[in-house]
């Protein structure tokens, strides 16, 4: 009887051990997480591969540099400010250039007076009027841009209004269109007109010198190349900046569209297609899942750079860079680490 009890106890113990082992195996992750996230897959989703990545603006981070060497006179924006394309960001000291512009303007006025003492008829008169119209349109455009700069600066210091800035930008757009129209008329007049006289040539040279002086002055204002948000301001008033500075004075990006730049193991490249649906998970939001689609796959295999700390050797892993467009970025932040799960159930058109 004791032998039967001993055998029964042994069988029950063996069954218990098997049950425990099966339970442990069921809870084991299929594949380790890339950035220390939970190893579980997104719930009820299937995936073909997992790749580490970072959140970035789809436009990329734009490093805004100066076109010339200069001393910073004003910093007009700060981090997190939203800016529009063409808005002034930094003003460099420009007293000398303003003096040169004034001198060039005086020369233009003198040459215009000397030219006007000689009358013109026919096609020569038409060309003269077209040249004057272009010069006037260029001055109007310059004045309109200055008005936009003043309106934007007033708005930054709470002394202006959105309506004033909007009106100034509309006037600037109209001035651009007017200049384009006058330039077209000048090209037509030049095709039909006679050769310019000596006085007209001298005026053209003076106007060219004035345009050069005005262009040099414009370069003392660093402007936003796109609509976006200021990410960093790395310069102070009084500092000297140059085009070759190792650290750009400002960085900005368009945050309206975020992407994930992921590094996919080359062995998984054959199973990934443009338009493929993905799930994105970040360590900062372990219980959330963000949706997206593969927007591009780089045509180049290269060593990985995003391997987690402690990996055996980063150069041992060759990857292809995959860009994933997010359909709802939520609270995701630029530079944040994320894991991209490539799903197999559907592919959408890019």
Instruction: Give the Cα separation of 275 and 90 in Å (integer).
Output: 41
Question: Is pLDDT at 234 greater than 50 in this prediction?
Answer: yes
Q: Token match 């004045």: residue?
A: 143
Res. 9 pLDDT band, cuts 50 70 90? low
Q: Is the pLDDT of residue 312 over 50?
A: no
311 φ/ψ angles, rounded to the nearest 5 degrees:
-70, 155
pLDDT(34) > 60: no
Binning pLDDT at 50, 70 and 90, where does residue 331 land? confident
Give the dihedral of Cα atoms 157, 162, 163, 165; nearest 10 deg: 70
**Is the pTM here over 0.85, yes or no?**
no
Q: Residue 310 above 60 pLDDT? A: no
Nearest-CA neighbor of 237 among 42, 72, 8?
72
The pLDDT-based confidence of 131 (bands split at 50, 70, 90) is: very high
How far the first Cα of the chain sits from its last, in Å, is 74
What integer is the mean pLDDT of 219-229? 93
**Could you tell me if 321 and 263 are in contact, meaning their C-beta atoms sit under 8 angstroms apart?**
yes
What pLDDT score does 11 carry? 58
- Name the more confident of 341 and 161: 341
The whole-number average pLDDT for the span 278-296 is: 90
Give residue 20's pLDDT: 57
So what's the pLDDT on residue 216? 95
Rg for the chain, CA atoms, rounded? 33
Over range 77-99, report the average pLDDT.
93
Rounded distance, CA 160 to CA 182, Å? 33
Question: 31 falls in which pLDDT band (50, 70, 90)?
Answer: very low
The pLDDT tens digits of the residues spanning 120-130 come to 888 888 888 99
> 73-82, 172-181, 243-252, 296-305: lowest mean pLDDT where?
296-305
Share of the chain above pLDDT 70, in %: 81
Range in 22-31, 189-198, 295-304 with the lowest mean pLDDT? 22-31
pLDDT at 14: 65
- Residue count of the chain, please give it: 350
- Report the distance separating Cα 277 and Cα 62, nearest Å: 28
Say if residues 52 and 323 touch (Cβ distance below 8 Å).
Answer: no
pLDDT over 90 percentage in the chain: 56
| Whole-angstrom distance, CA of residue 210 vs CA of residue 138 | 11
What is the Cα 109 distance to its own chain's centre? 42
Q: Is the pLDDT of residue 113 over 70?
A: yes
Is residue 245 very low, low, confident or very high in pLDDT (cuts 50, 70, 90)? confident
Per the prediction, the chain carries an average pLDDT of 84
Between these two residues, 316 and 36, which has the higher pLDDT value? 316
| pLDDT-based confidence at residue 271 (cuts at 50, 70, 90) | confident
Asked if 219 and 140 count as a contact pair (C-beta separation under 8 A), the reply is no
């Amino acid at each position: 009887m004791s032998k039967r009890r001993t055998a029964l106890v042994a069988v029950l113990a063996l069954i218990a051990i098997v049950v425990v082992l099966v339970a442990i195996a069921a809870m084991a992750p299929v594949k380790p997480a890339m950035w220390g996230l939970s190893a579980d897959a997104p719930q009820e989703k299937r995936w073909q591969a997992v790749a580490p990545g970072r959140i970035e603006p789809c436009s990329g981070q734009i490093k805004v540099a100066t076109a010339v060497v200069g001393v910073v006179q004003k910093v007009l924006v700060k981090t997190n400010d939203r800016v529009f394309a063409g808005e002034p960001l930094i003003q460099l000291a420009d007293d000398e250039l303003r003096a040169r512009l004034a001198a060039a303007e005086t020369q233009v006025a003198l040459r215009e007076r000397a030219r006007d003492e000689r009358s013109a008829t026919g096609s020569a008169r038409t060309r003269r009027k077209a040249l004057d119209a272009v010069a006037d349109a260029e001055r109007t455009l310059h004045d309109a841009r200055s008005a936009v700069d003043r309106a934007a600066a007033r708005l930054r210091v709470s002394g202006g209004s959105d309506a004033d800035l909007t009106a100034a930008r509309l006037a600037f757009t109209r001035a651009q269109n007017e200049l384009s129209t006058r330039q077209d008329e000048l090209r037509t007049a030049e095709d039909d007109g006679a050769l310019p006289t000596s006085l007209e040539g001298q005026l053209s040279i003076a106007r060219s010198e004035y345009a050069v002086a005005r262009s040099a002055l414009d370069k003392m204002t660093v402007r936003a190349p796109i609509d976006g948000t200021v990410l960093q301001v790395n310069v102070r008033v009084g500092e000297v900046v140059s085009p070759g500075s190792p650290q750009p004075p400002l960085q900005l990006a368009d945050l309206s569209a975020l992407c994930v730049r992921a590094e996919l193991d080359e062995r998984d490249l054959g199973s990934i297609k443009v338009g493929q649906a993905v799930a994105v998970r970040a360590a900062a939001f372990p219980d959330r899942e963000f949706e997206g689609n593969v927007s591009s796959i780089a045509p180049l295999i290269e060593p990985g750079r995003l391997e987690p700390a402690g990996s055996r050797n980063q150069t041992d892993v060759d990857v292809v860079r995959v860009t994933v467009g997010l359909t709802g970025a939520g609270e995701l932040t630029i530079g944040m680490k994320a894991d991209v799960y490539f799903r197999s159930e559907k592919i959408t058109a890019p």
